[in-house]
Amino acid sequence: MAAFDPVQAQLDAYNRHDIESFLASYAPDATVRHADGRVLMSGHDQIRVRYEGLFAEYPDVVAEVPNRIRAGGWVVDEEKVQLGEQQLHVAVAYEVRDELIQSVVMLRSDM
């Protein structure tokens, strides 16, 4: 049996808008940063607020991952996110340790 993949699990939960399963893929103290170092979210509470708001504002939001690279404890996804009529193209790096996402770095110019 393959090891649990928290990055795929959180993507699947994101696309189902299942906040509990989404959060279960993250360490309780996980951080989400912009590539410039700014902390966007820290911990389950902030992540919950951000994504519950996103799911409420965009009830049809989905993400697809056309490319994924694994290197050591990192997973880097090319993500295409459909927000209503707008499509975002983002690179996201996930640091995975102990089968949980510990940190996330988002590379997107408009954040």
Q: Which CATH number fits domain 6-107: 3.40.30.10, 3.40.50.1980, 3.10.450.50, 3.20.20.70?
A: 3.10.450.50
Cα gap 106→61, rounded to integer Å: 18
Q: Confirm if 23 and 44 have CB atoms less than 8 A apart.
A: yes
Tell me the pTM: 0.92
Q: Transcribe 9-74 into DSSP letters.
A: HHHHHHHHT-HHHHHHTEEEEEEEEETTS-EEEEHHHHHHHHHHHHHHH-TT-EEEEEEEEEETTE
Give the residue among 3, 4, 111, 8 at the shortest CA–CA distance from 65.
Answer: 8
Each residue's pLDDT tens digit, 16-63: 999 999 999 999 999 999 999 999 999 999 999 999 999 999 999 999
Res. 111: pLDDT tops 80:
no
Query: Residue 1 carries which DSSP code?
Result: -
How big is the CA angle at 22 (ends 3 and 18), to the nearest 5 degrees?
Answer: 125
| 108 φ/ψ angles, rounded to the nearest 5 degrees | -150, 135
Each residue's pLDDT tens digit, 88-102: 999 999 999 999 999
